[in-house]
Amino acid sequence: MPGWLKIILALVAIFVLVIIGFGITGYIYVKQHRQEWMQASDAARRDGEAFAEGKDVSQCVDEAVRRVGKCGGLPCEISERFFVQSCMKKAAPSPQLCANVPPRSEMLHSARWAVEECNRRSQPGSQPCARLMQEVQRYCAR
């Protein structure tokens, strides 16, 4: 077997072992933190339902945007998405909220709308806010 082929096979083997190592590490990490994440999502849902009492959907979105602006990382952002989902389900309808919301299938228009909406809600350039707006699109698509 030529020397160059041995080197390529060794590199491929190392690459495969690294990928397997990342997979095992990821599995262990998720398994260790799963319960914690489930509790956080349940708490966020309960917070959303409690906040929704006497409020409309637009107020739910305002609160979620405010909260996601204080987030520090993906787990917090995900919790705020659970918050806004449950809040929007329980709150009174707010038809004006969905007036200019584009369908999720229009990706460029959706991205532009999300950025403009976050700017309007005092979260300019906030990626977590823009991702939170996907929940508004889901709500308005119903």
Give domain status of residue 97, yes or no: yes
Number of domains into which the chain is organized = 1
Give domain status of residue 20, yes or no: no
Range of the domain at 78: 43-141
pLDDT, one tens digit per residue, over 80-128 is: 999 999 999 999 998 888 888 998 888 999 999 999 999 998 888 889 9
Q: What is the pTM of this model?
A: 0.77
pLDDT, one tens digit per residue, over 45-70 is: 999 999 999 999 999 999 999 999 88
Give domain status of residue 69, yes or no: yes
Give domain status of residue 66, yes or no: yes
Give the pLDDT of residue 94: 86
Interval 22-32 mean pLDDT:
94
Structure tokens at 9: 């096979």
Give domain status of residue 94, yes or no: yes
Give the pLDDT of residue 2: 86
Q: Return the DSSP state at 92.
A: B
